[in-house]
Amino acid sequence: MTRRLIGLLVAGALLVLATLLSLGVGHRAIDPATVFAALTATDETNPLHVMVQELRVPRTVFAILVGAALAVCGALIQAFTRNPLADPGILGVNAGASFAVTFAVGVLGLTAPGAYVPFALCGALVLTVLVYALGSFGSAGATPMKLTLAGVALGAAFTGFTTAIVLQNHSTLQVMRFWGVGSVGGRTIDQLTWALPLILAGLVLGLMCARSLNALALGDDLAQALGARVAVTRILVIVAVTLLAGTSVAAAGPIAFVGIMVPHVVRWFTGPDQRWVLAYSMIVGPIFLVLADVIGRIALPNGELRVGIVTGLLGAPVLVALVRRKQASAL
């Protein structure tokens, strides 16, 4: 058994532990025996069982799905753009999805999270294509620096449009004030009916591109010589990124830093092979987001910190450390 496979099994075990922790820890602690009873023999008259089934199970499942989606999305964008500092937030993809959701709420009056999905997907797709097109101008093509600058510029512009819509309408401000921070709380199992298939489709598409992304890392010409279909791979990656980023933003709001941190940490153990990077990111991303959500529940004596704030507090120093490294983790 290889070292990377053993590491993947260890990560899977850590995800199970994080899931159990998420089910038991919160404003009211629930012992493991009660959690197990709530999952296997639910007593609807027991308030602790109801709390586990209706509040903590949906919250934990959403954290697992969104964590996997954001981490794999970040790994795909970094490999696709050959930019080690790329992620859905820095390249403006989340800003595009957020703008589209804000438009749906503020202009069209939609408030159900499921109604956000097509708008979030369209916003993520448009920004992804715009950033890549703008970053590809010039004889040098799409360089990491140009893509980052294009993403930051377009992300800032769309964030400004989003703020303008929010400030024009008080009811929109109330809705977006909480959604815009990023949270997995208050979700229901019924909402999985639209989020689960879209995220699974994005994850499968991303894994299908792993071998071709390894070839693309050598350059387009050499990738074609090795038999990789460059154009098809790029289209599939854009579709996967759109599905993952758009659905995540619609489900939980814009959560920053998961997409940039997790692939970097993963590459310290796996090296640049995208097959292992994507597989590890699919497990380590949920571990990080579930634990961040647990920290948010217990960080304050009264109330809780939303998970988007916790990932921001944890992610900012990590991003500074990555920038200060002489050589980022190899792609």
Segment 97-140, tens digit of pLDDT: 888 888 888 888 777 766 777 888 888 888 888 887 887 777 76
Q: How far apart are CA 147 and CA 134, in angstroms?
A: 8
* Banded model confidence at residue 70, pLDDT cuts 50, 70, 90: very high
Q: What is the CA radius of gyration of the chain?
A: 20
For residue 28, what pLDDT is reported? 81
Residues 6+ apart with CB under 8 A from 76: 206, 209, 213, 237, 240, 241, 244, 278
Residues 6+ apart with CB under 8 A from 29: none
Residues 6+ apart with CB under 8 A from 305: 295, 296, 299
Mean of pLDDT over the chain = 84
Tokens of 157: 């512009």
pTM of this prediction?
A: 0.86
* Banded model confidence at residue 67, pLDDT cuts 50, 70, 90: very high
CATH topology of domain 1-324: ABC transporter involved in vitamin B12 uptake, BtuC (1.10.3470)
Domains of the chain, by residue range, sit at 1-324
For residue 114, what pLDDT is reported? 67
The sign of the torsion formed by the CA atoms of 40, 44, 45, 47 equals: positive
pLDDT at 65 over 60: yes
Percent of the chain past pLDDT 90, that is, above it, reads: 21
